[in-house]
Amino acid sequence: METRRRIRRAAREGHPKAPDPRPPTPRRRTAEGYANPQDPRGRQVFGKPASLKDVPTHFCSGCGHGLVHRMVAEVVDELGIRERVVGVSPVGCAVLGYDYWDFDVSEAAHGRTPAVATGMKRARPDLIVFTYQGDGDLAAIGTAELIHTANRGENITIIFVNNAVYGMTGGQMAPTTLEGQITATTPTGRTLEGCGAPLKVPEMIAPFPGTKYLVRTALNNPHNISIARRSIKKAFQCQIENVGFSLVEILSPCPTYWRLSPLDALKWIEEKMIPYFPLGEIKVPD
Ligand X SMILES: Cc1ncc(C[n+]2csc(CCOP(=O)(O)OP(=O)(O)O)c2C)c(N)n1
Stretches 48-56, 121-129, 134-142, 210-218: which one binds ligand X (CB under 6 A)? 134-142
Closest CA to 116 of 135, 92, 142, 98: 142
Binding window for ligand X (CB under 6 A); candidates: 32-40, 162-170, 213-221, 268-276: 162-170
Q: Which chain residues interact with ligand SF4 by CB under 6 A?
A: 59-60, 63, 65, 93, 163, 167-168, 254-257
Cα–Cα dist 182/171, whole Å: 9
Please provide the DSSP assignment of 207-264 as one string.
TSTTEEEEEEEE-SSHHHHHHHHHHHHHHHHHHHTT--EEEEEEE---HHHHT--HHH
Q: What is the DSSP string of 56-104?
A: ---SPTT-SHHHHHHHHHHHHHHHT-TTTEEEEE-SSTTTTHHHHBSSE
> Minimum Å distance from CB 219 to Mg ion?
13
Q: Letter for the amino acid at 219?
A: L
Sole binder of ligand X in the list 137, 145, 154, 249 (CB under 6 A): 137
Q: Smaller CB distance to ligand X: residue 161 or 273?
A: 161
- 173 interacts with ligand X by CB under 6 A: no
**Closest residue to ligand X using C-beta atoms:** 134
Task: State which of positions 151-180 bind Mg ion (CB under 5 A).
Answer: 163, 167
Contact 128, 239 (CB under 8 A): yes
**145 contributes a contact to ligand X by CB under 6 A:** no
Nearer to Mg ion, 135 or 249 (CB): 135
Strand segments (E) across 115-206? 128-134, 157-162, 165-166, 172-173
Residue 140 or 205 with smaller CB distance to ligand SF4: 140
Q: Which of 135, 145, 154, 249 binds Mg ion (CB under 5 A)?
A: 135
Q: Does 93 interact with ligand X (rule: CB under 6 A)?
A: yes
Interacting residues toward ligand X by CB under 6 A: 90-94, 110, 134-137, 141, 161, 163, 165-169, 174
Interacting residues toward Mg ion by CB under 5 A: 134-135, 163, 167
